[in-house]
């Protein structure tokens, strides 16, 4: 039975913080723990997680806000479950952050935490609704309103997140799938198929280590033939089991079956979405540059209004790393606009596609990219023209670089257009041989043909160049945010496997980053705030000048000491009594 936790609102007479001096109580309240309690713990709407509990009269649930806070603190500080549980039990700041008023017994155990994680993951997999994401969005929305964090400008970036799984060779992957199928069999089938399984029915890890470097090809073929036979023999009895489904998936990804045998696929023929490990069926493969990744990709959006004293992360998406950046933008843009006032989106070159242009135009969001994918064209590009659009972002008129303006006509297809320029004017143009508008027929007209996507691409390139001319790059700071998200990971790996668990970790880490920023913001306001000029970035040049001046002074001191170095020895620096001795 679900029950909200309101007990923390009533202060206990045995609260250990009451024994602290007034100065220490104030310090505790102004630390991250006080901010976490006020801005996350108290704001969290526990009813979001009510769907996990039964409606029947029964024992009340463990406080949900404490279980969620445990996950956020664990992810934000890079702790193991045991370390985080010790912090909850023995650390006054952590207990303050989680609304625990006394040193009595902690109301939950680690087993309760494990069950809660499983319930959240199972619900997300079954209903396609991530409750941690909903809670993050609800809390962040209230934080934005309370601290007046503007969200008209948003920046976005993605980062690779490795799953907590081993990188398996092809032989070990295939033998591990067979090992799981072997464990699924009952005793009678194990005895019946013992000769068929042979060496592949035991410890897959031990078997893979014993395979010589010149033997993998033979084992791959043998495993493929065995899988093909087992899929037919075990379908009636084990066709609905997870192990059988995994074996069927892997066989289709690695082999091609024929009536008289099987043929294995070449490495380059295996899809990036193929199974990477039996322990994490959702993880995918991706090569970015010269480095290969197995796991997931996290797409993060944060505010970047210059008027904000601090920026907040407002959205976190986690998908298999085969997902394209532009695809994630299309999937999350509408929900992001509903929760923020986003008008301008700053991204890198990976977020451009026809679908992204269409979605952002539909939502009225202007995208500014710091880089554009693809090589620069040798001739004059369409981004050199000035475009006039209607409310539906369809072209009405176009002006060439030499200021000849003409109306746009509809092409034969709905997404194609053309513009007819005066041939007599174009004949004397110095850019004629570079211009994409070409002479057509006897009418001495130069016709520019283009599609709706080419217009959107040209506008993106114009916005990118205009932003570069300002000398500032609002998107650049998001790189530090991505580093902060992964800074608590060991070996750059999330401590979990499975998309739902990895998403829970990344969202929790983002929530803790926001708490640290709000803590800093509260301290700035309590100390009287920053200089008004610093709010608009004008204080930075002054700070740079002061730093340069201090550096020059330090260099002068070092030069002065260097000139007089021969006048003193280490013995001169000893106390007088030691020198006399």
Identify whether residues 184 and 123 lie together within a single domain. no
Let me know if residue 279 belongs to a domain.
no
Over the stretch 53-64, which tens digit does the pLDDT of each residue have?
Answer: 988 888 888 999
Rounded to the nearest integer, the mean pLDDT of the chain is 85
- Percent of the chain beyond pLDDT 70? 89
- The per-residue pLDDT for 250 is 94
Domain limit, last residue, from 269, 289, 306: 269
Q: Which of 168, 230, 251, 162 is nearest to 205 (CA)?
A: 168
Report the distance separating Cα 101 and Cα 95, nearest Å.
7
Burial of 484 (0-12, 13-18, 19+ CB in 10 A): middle
Identify whether residues 13 and 111 lie together within a single domain. yes
Report the distance separating Cα 404 and Cα 422, nearest Å.
8
Identify whether residues 95 and 191 lie together within a single domain. no
Identify whether residues 35 and 111 lie together within a single domain. yes
Let me know if residue 157 belongs to a domain.
no
Identify whether residues 200 and 116 lie together within a single domain. no
The region of weakest confidence among 185-194, 229-238, 259-268 is: 259-268
pLDDT at 42 over 50: yes
Identify whether residues 99 and 204 lie together within a single domain. no
**Residues 221, 222, 223, CA angle at the centre, nearest 5°?**
90
- The per-residue pLDDT for 528 is 65
**Residues 94 and 33: beta-carbon distance below 8 Å:** yes
Let me know if residue 139 belongs to a domain.
no
Let me know if residue 373 belongs to a domain.
no
Domain limit, last residue, from 229, 252, 269: 269
- The per-residue pLDDT for 243 is 94
- The per-residue pLDDT for 412 is 85
Identify whether residues 23 and 80 lie together within a single domain. yes
Q: Where does the pLDDT of residue 506 fall: very low under 50, low under 70, confident under 90, or very high at 90 and above?
A: very high
Q: What is the DSSP letter of 62?
A: P
Which structural domain range is residue 449 located in?
A: 382-454
- The per-residue pLDDT for 570 is 39
Identify whether residues 177 and 254 lie together within a single domain. yes
Report the distance separating Cα 255 and Cα 245, nearest Å.
15
Let me know if residue 416 belongs to a domain.
yes
Q: At 268, list the tokens.
A: 């380059």
Q: Where does the pLDDT of residue 425 fall: very low under 50, low under 70, confident under 90, or very high at 90 and above?
A: confident
Identify whether residues 103 and 199 lie together within a single domain. no
**Residues 226 and 197: beta-carbon distance below 8 Å:** yes
Let me know if residue 434 belongs to a domain.
yes
Q: Give, for 316, the enclosing helix (H) or strand (E).
A: strand 313-320
- Which whole-number Å values give the CA distances from 30 to 15, 50, 182, in the listed order? 17, 32, 58
Identify whether residues 15 and 97 lie together within a single domain. yes
Number of domains into which the chain is organized: 3
**Residues 406 and 398: beta-carbon distance below 8 Å:** yes
Over the stretch 210-248, which tens digit does the pLDDT of each residue have?
Answer: 787 667 778 888 899 999 999 999 999 999 999 999 999
Q: Which three-class secondary structure state does DSSP give residue 315?
A: strand
Burial 521-549 (b: 16+ CB within 10 A, else e): bbeeeeeeeeeeeeeeeeeeeeeeeeeee
- Which whole-number Å values give the CA distances from 165 to 268, 278, 293, in the listed order? 22, 9, 12
Q: Which residues pair with 153 in a beta bridge?
A: 344
Report the distance separating Cα 511 and Cα 77, nearest Å.
12
Identify whether residues 125 and 11 lie together within a single domain. yes
Q: Where does the pLDDT of residue 331 fall: very low under 50, low under 70, confident under 90, or very high at 90 and above?
A: very high
Identify whether residues 27 and 117 lie together within a single domain. yes
Let me know if residue 395 belongs to a domain.
yes
**Residues 278 and 176: beta-carbon distance below 8 Å:** yes
**Strand-pair category, 344-347 with 153-162:** parallel
Q: At what angle do helices 170-184 and 242-254 cross, to 10 degrees?
A: 150
Q: At 573, list the tokens.
A: 């620096």
Q: Which of 348, 350, 294, 297 is nearest to 323 (CA)?
A: 297
Domain limit, last residue, from 454, 479, 506: 454
Let me know if residue 213 belongs to a domain.
yes
């Amino acid at each position: 039975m679900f029950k909200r936790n309101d007990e923390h609102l009533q202060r206990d007479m045995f609260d250990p913080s009451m024994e602290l001096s007034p100065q220490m109580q104030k310090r505790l309240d102004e630390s991250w723990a006080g901010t976490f309690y006020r801005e996350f713990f108290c704001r969290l709407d526990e009813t979001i997680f009510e769907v996990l509990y039964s409606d029947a009269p029964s024992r009340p649930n463990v406080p949900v806000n404490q279980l969620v806070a445990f996950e956020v603190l664990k992810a934000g500080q890079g702790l193991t479950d045991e370390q985080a549980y010790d912090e909850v039990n023995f650390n006054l700041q952590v207990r303050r952050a989680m609304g625990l008023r006394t040193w009595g017994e902690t109301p939950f155990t680690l087993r309760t935490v494990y069950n809660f994680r499983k319930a959240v993951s199972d619900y997300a997999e079954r209903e396609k609704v991530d409750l941690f994401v909903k809670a993050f969005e609800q809390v962040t929305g209230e934080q934005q309103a309370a601290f007046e964090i503007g969200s008209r400008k948003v920046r976005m970036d993605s980062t690779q997140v490795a799953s907590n799984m081993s990188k398996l060779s092809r032989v070990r992957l295939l033998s591990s799938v067979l090992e799981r199928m072997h464990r699924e069999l009952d005793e009678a089938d194990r005895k019946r198929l013992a000769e068929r399984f042979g060496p592949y029915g035991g410890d897959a890890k031990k078997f893979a280590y014993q395979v010589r470097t010149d033997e993998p090809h033979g084992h791959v073929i043998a495993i493929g033939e065995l899988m093909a036979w087992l899929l037919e023999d075990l379908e009636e009895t084990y066709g609905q089991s997870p192990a059988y489904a995994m074996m069927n998936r892997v066989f289709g990804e690695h082999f091609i079956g024929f009536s008289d045998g099987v043929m294995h696929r070449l490495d380059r023929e295996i899809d990036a979405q193929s199974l990477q490990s039996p322990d994490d069926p959702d993880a995918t493969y991706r090569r970015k540059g010269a480095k290969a990744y197995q796991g997931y990709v996290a797409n993060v959006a944060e505010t970047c209004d210059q008027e904000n004293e601090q920026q907040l992360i407002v959205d976190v998406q986690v998908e298999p790393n085969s997902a394209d950046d532009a695809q994630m933008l299309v999937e999350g843009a509408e929900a992001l606009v509903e929760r923020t006032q986003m008008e301008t989106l700053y991204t890198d070159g990976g977020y451009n596609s026809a679908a992204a242009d269409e979605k952002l135009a539909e939502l009225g969001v202007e995208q500014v990219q710091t880089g554009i994918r693809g090589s620069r064209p040798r001739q004059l590009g369409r981004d050199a023209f000035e475009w006039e659009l209607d409310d539906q972002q369809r072209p009405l008129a176009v002006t060439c670089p030499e200021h000849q303006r003409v109306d746009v006509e509809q092409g034969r297809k709905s997404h194609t257009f053309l513009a007819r320029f005066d041939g007599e004017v174009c004949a004397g143009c110095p850019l004629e041989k570079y211009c994409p508008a070409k002479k057509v027929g006897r009418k001495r007209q130069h016709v520019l043909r283009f599609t709706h996507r080419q217009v959107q691409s040209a506008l993106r390139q114009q916005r990118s160049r205009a932003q570069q001319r300002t000398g500032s790059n609002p998107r650049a700071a998001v790189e530090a945010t991505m580093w902060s998200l992964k800074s608590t990971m060991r070996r750059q790996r999330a401590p979990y496997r499975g998309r739902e668990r990895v998403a829970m970790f990344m969202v929790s880490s983002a929530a803790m980053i926001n708490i640290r920023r709000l803590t800093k913001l509260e301290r700035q306001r309590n100390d009287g705030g920053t200089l008004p000029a610093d709010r608009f970035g004008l204080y930075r040049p002054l700070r740079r000048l002061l730093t340069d001046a201090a550096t020059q002074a330090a260099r002068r001191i070092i030069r002065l000491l260097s000139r007089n170095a021969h006048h003193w020895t280490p013995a001169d620096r000893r106390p007088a009594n030691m020198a006399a001795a």
